[in-house]
Amino acid sequence: EKIKIGRIRLQDRDKQRLEALYDGEITYHDTHFAAMLEGLERRGLADETVVAFVADHGEEFFDHDSVGHGHSLFEELLHVPFVMRVPGIDEPVRVTEPAGLVDVMPTVLDALG
C-alpha cells in the first residue's frame, strides 16, 4: 500500500523484479490456458466450444508513479483483454470501441446464437 500511494520509492531493480514476477504470473496462466485449449482439441470439442478470456482490470507499473490497480482510472487499468474463439468464425475481428464488462455476457450469448 505504501508503494502504491508513493510513500516508498523503489529502486529500478526492485521495479524490474515486480515486473518480472508479474510476467511470470502471465506465463503461468498462458501455459494453463494453452493446456485447456489443447484438451478441447484432444477431446474433439474445440469446434463446438466457445472460449472467452476476459480480465477485470489492468495493472500499472509505475506509469504514473504508482503500482497495482484499484486506485485510479488510467488507461493501463481500464483497458482489459477480452478474447473469444467462436467456432465458425475464422477471421479475427478487433473491436476498437470502448466496451464494459457488462458487455461480456450479451456478447457470449450472441455468439451462441
Contact predicate 28/39, CB 8 Å: no
Opening angle at CA 109, ends 108 and 111, nearest 5: 65
Q: What is the DSSP letter of 63?
A: T
pTM above 0.85, yes or no: no
Q: Say if residues 5 and 66 touch (Cβ distance below 8 Å).
A: yes
CA distance 100 to 78: 9
CA–CA distance, 79 with 55 (Å, rounded to integer) = 9
Over residues 64-76, the pLDDT tens digits come to 666 666 666 677 7
The dihedral over CA atoms of 110, 82, 30, 19, expressed in degrees to the nearest 10, equals: -170
pLDDT digit string, tens, across residues 38-93: 999 999 999 999 998 887 667 776 676 666 666 666 777 777 888 888 888 888 88
CA-only gyration radius of the chain, Å: 18
Tell me the three state secondary structure of residue 1: coil
Closest to 113 measured CA to CA, from 91, 87, 95, 84: 87
Which amino acid, one-letter code, is at 8? I
